[in-house]
A and B are shown apart, each in its own frame.
Chain A
Amino acid sequence: MRFMMLVIPKGYASAAPGTLPDPKLVERMSKYNQSLTNAGVLLALDGLHPPSAGARVRFAGGKPAVTDGPFAEAKEVLGGYWMIQVKSKAEAIEWAKRAPMPDGDVIEIRQVQEMADFTPEIQKAAGPTRLGAQ
């Protein structure tokens, strides 16, 4: 089973563009990431620039409308993710518990949908695109 561990850093919704993580935290994260890789569970990971460096696209009335970040209405924004391969949700939680998170941060664990989770009709409709993506 694949799970995403989504990071919701405290106060990241209003972080200035160009905000970088604390080097000490990067060092601790690097060690944690290495432990995930050594165990063979880590599939991917990335950090996200603050919302002030992003945009939202709203689809209504047939015409997409773009709003630049930061997003005034957002309280919880994502700061990054890990994608892991484990045997159960409990195992995902155990890994997440070991993450060296700063005080007030939240990790949200979400199971990733696999093709096998869908009915044959949906699998057929979805086609091979996902597998074709590199």
Chain B
Amino acid sequence: MRFMVFVPGGKESEAGVLPDEKLIAAMQEFNEELVKAGVMLAAEGLHPTSKGARLKFESGKTTVIDGPFTESKELIAGFWLIHAKSLDDAIGWMKRAPFGGGVKLEIRPIFEAEDFGKALTPELRKRDERLRAQMKENQQ
């Protein structure tokens, strides 16, 4: 099973403050451990919401709002994409992350093709496989 693990944003990440060298080194060690165990698939950090935008789709209209999103309490600053045997296994790995100070990570299972059952017709499945192959080419 694949999981996405979200790292919450806060005042510091929103102000563009980068973590200190000590935390980066600790994170580096943790990431190396994840990679060695074949658990980590990807990890990315996001720029503050001041560099982003939100689009609201409502009543047939699309409204664009430029960041920062000061009204939102649930901003994210980055994520891991991991491979684990179960939710418990994913939790076990993420408990070892070098965080403190009340940081709350959110772990969410990703939809895989088999989760859709019969709703994913052979045609849709083929299309999905083709799409994923093309995405890989775009990543090169």
Q: A residues near B, CB below 8 A?
A: 2, 4, 6, 20, 23, 26-27, 30, 33-34, 37, 40-49, 51, 53-60, 62, 64, 66, 71, 74-78, 80-81, 85, 89, 92-93, 96-97, 99, 101-113, 117-118, 121-122, 125-127, 129-130, 132-134
B84-112 contacts to A, CB under 8 A, are: 87, 90-91, 94-95, 97, 99-111
Contacts of B127 in A (CB 8 A): 30, 34
Using a Cβ–Cβ cut-off of 8 Å, how many residues does chain B contribute to the interface with A? Answer: 69
Q: Does B24 contact A (CB under 8 A)?
A: yes
Question: Distance (Å) between the CB of A8 and the closest chain B CB?
Answer: 8
Given contacts A37-B135, A59-B105, 9 further A-B contacts (CB under 8 A): A23-B119, A26-B116, A46-B81, A48-B109, A49-B109, A59-B102, A60-B102, A97-B55, A111-B51
Check A42–B101 contact: CB distance below 8 A. no
- Give the CA-CA distance A78 to B7 in the complex, in Å: 13
Check A126–B24 contact: CB distance below 8 A. yes
Residue of A nearest to B106 (CB): A56
Q: B residues near A, CB below 8 A?
A: 2, 4, 6, 18, 21, 24-25, 28, 31-32, 35, 40-47, 49, 51-60, 62, 64, 69, 72-74, 76, 78, 81, 87, 90-91, 94-95, 97, 99-111, 115-116, 119, 124, 127-128, 131, 134-135, 138-139
For B41, give its contact among A33, A103, A121, A133 (CB under 8 Å).
A133
Check B24–A122 contact: CB distance below 8 A. yes
Interface of chain A, main secondary structure: mixed
Residue of A nearest to B73 (CB): A75
Residue of B nearest to A105 (CB): B57
Question: Distance (Å) between the CB of B3 and the closest chain A CB?
Answer: 8
